[in-house]
Structure 1
């Protein structure tokens, strides 16, 4: 009986070795490392961790913005800088193979030109709600100071570069040699999973949006197009809500927009 057990264990060991040998090293690394960097970003990038252990030496007036900057910076670091470096150093990929080139920039520009006005109108309408004005921008002092607002949004943009590259760059192009066109759906899975705690309409839309953005990036051969398309939704909402809070204007028609601009200029 013991010899039979040993034989079975040896057979399973051989199967395991054969299975491991059949794995594509780059794809295996990319999918595993993507999970690792998500954990690192959520753990090390936590704003409360920053407040408790790192903010004590900063002037009190800076700590709130610095906490958001820490969160955004960790996303940019672990979502963009570290993954791009690993593909370059470990697998000797050039920028175009990693999705960092300009790609089909004419198509990307056309899509952005058609999409961004729609986002501008949609976020303008949403910003008329009191709940949105109370929540956006998340760092409330940015509402009353344009310098703070611009600095906050610049940090926020780095966050979006990290968020988009991790899925639409690192995972999409990193697994493409194995999965081909199916890599579009591979990168959409973890993206949707990270929206599971959001309100259900947003969670469902994240599935559609993840596939659509992945397909667009695949077609354009560059992840950069995903940054303005995704970031604009939040950054324009921040802008409209800030303008409404500063001017006290409500309504969604052109007269309301004109009043906002007039009061702002005055």
Structure 2
């Protein structure tokens, strides 16, 4: 039995040794991304901040502090750690790691063209009860514009970490081994699964969004394009849901929009 196990172990080592450098890097990237997500869900959770860390960041409102902790940990674990791994650990250039500007003219033009669709789409979605109950995630942002701005600024750091983990680290870290099409699919799968607890429309749209963003990032050779696209969606949704909460505006017509915008005053 021992000889059998020894033979299996040697076979496994030989199989791993026979992998190309690109394949080994892809395996490390996928496993690391998995660990980072689990670590964020466990150690970076709001519950850990409130129950174990006892408002360690010292915010006057511990609930706001818990969101700052959640957002900040995603920024560190999704952006800082993976970027260092690709650039320092695997000695990729920033451009190879998806950190460069890439085709910024194309990216900027597409982002500007997409913005009106975001505004219209989120305005319609914000009329749904499920979305109004979800956004903004921190209820205090609905009642104080100063808190709203601070919350959204922290949320932006979260989006940088969220987008780089999938559209940067996983996409650019696995593409040399898998090829671009499969790498785009590979980063979409966990991205969509992590939307399982979202409203159904958002959950299923995340599959399309993950594929589209992955393809766009690969075409532009820069993950940065995904940040304003995704962050703008959430900012607009948070804003419209907040305005509806403040004004009671209902419906999606121009009258309802005018009533909601009155809440900016």
Who wins on radius of gyration, i.e. which is larger? Answer: 1
The secondary structure found in structure 1 opposite 2:195 is coil
- Aligned partner of 1:251 in structure 2 is 251
RMSD after superposition: 2.1
Alignment partner, residue 12 of structure 1: 8
Query: Does the Cα contact within 8 Å between 1:247 and 1:264 map onto a contact in 2?
Result: no
Partners of 1:177 and 1:230 lie apart in 2 by 26
What TM-score do you get using the length of structure 1 for normalisation?
0.89
- 1:169-202: per-residue Cα shift (whole Å, max 9, x none)? 0000011221121211111122122233445443
- Is 1:68 the counterpart of 2:64? The answer is no
The answer to whether 1:52 aligns with 2:51 is: yes
What runs of 5+ residues in structure 1 fail to find an aligned partner? none
SS at match of 1:106: helix
Does the 8 A contact of 2:59 with 2:65 survive in 1? Answer: no
Query: Is contact 1:103-1:221 (8 Å) kept?
Result: yes
- How many residues align? The count is 261
Q: Give the SS at the match of 2:244.
A: helix
SS of the residue aligned with 1:55?
Answer: coil
- Within-5 A mapping of 1:47-196: 47-56=46-55, 61-181=60-180, 182-196=182-196
Q: CA distance change for structure 1 residues 230 and 50 in 2, over 3 Å: closer, same or farther?
A: same
TM-score, normalised via structure 2 length:
0.90
The 1:131/1:186 distance shift into structure 2, 3 A limit, reads: closer
Which has the higher mean CA deviation after the structures are superposed, 240-249 or 118-127? 240-249
CA distance in 2, matches of 1:133, 1:163: 23
Deviations 1:31-54 (A, max 9, x none): 111111011110111111101122
**Where does the alignment leave 5 or more consecutive residues of structure 2 unmatched?**
none
What is the CA–CA distance in structure 1 between the aligned matches of 2:80 and 2:59, rounded to whole Å? Answer: 30
Cα separation, partners in 2 of 1:128 and 1:203, compared to 1, 3 Å: closer
Once residues 263 and 62 of structure 1 are traced to their aligned partners in structure 2, the CA distance between those partners, rounded to angstroms, is 24
